[in-house]
Amino acid sequence: MIHSGIYYPSHSLKAQLCVEGNKRLYEICEKNSIPCKKIGKFIIANNELEIEILHKLYVLGKENGLTGLSLISKSRIKELEPAIKADFIIYSKETGIVDSHRLIKYFEKKSEISNVIITYNSTVISIEKVNDYYSLTIQESNNELM
């Protein structure tokens, strides 16, 4: 899933990273022929309280720099998709899906080119910043420290 970042607190690091990550992820996928698709997402409200929450989410999304957000009223919903029963909708155009296996393989290959050691089923014991990189001490599943 490629998220838009609509649910994160205004101007938070999570929101900034999600909005930026959304754009960059689509760019990476396009450049490296990784299948992905902007399918969009409907966030649905069916009563006054939920409509109020959607308005707040919409404002939050705009504050966080999301693009492709729109509010859709009940009459317009019926025109767009008659099967949806809702009083109000936020449509997030930038939400999408990605072939996660191909994406993981891409990042794995990129990491190995940069001399990153990948180890699975391991516990991080410590992280230390050394100049421009980080050094991790891990305990592998066989209890060896690396």
pLDDT tens, position by position, 92-106: 999 999 999 999 999
Identify whether residues 81 and 137 lie together within a single domain.
no
- Side-chain-side CA neighbours of 4 within 13 Å: the count stands at 28
Domain count across the chain:
2
- Both tokens of residue 63? 């504050």
- The encoded tokens of residue 55 equal 């308005």
Classify residue 127: in a domain, yes or no.
yes
Integer Cα distance of 37 and 84 in angstroms: 22
Q: What is the pTM of this model?
A: 0.79
Q: Both 93 and 120 in a single domain?
A: no
Does residue 133 fall inside a structural domain? Answer: yes
**Structural domain containing residue 138:** 116-146
Which residues contact residue 26 at a Cβ distance below 8 angstroms, ignoring those fewer than 6 apart? Answer: 2, 36, 38, 96
Cα separation, 87 vs 76, in Å, equals 10
Helix (H, G, I), strand (E, B) or coil at 139: strand
Task: Tell me which residue has tokens 């050691």.
Answer: 117
Cα(100)–Cα(50) distance, rounded to whole angstroms? 32
Q: What pLDDT digit, counting tens, does each position of 45-82 carry?
A: 999 999 999 999 999 999 999 999 999 998 899 888 88
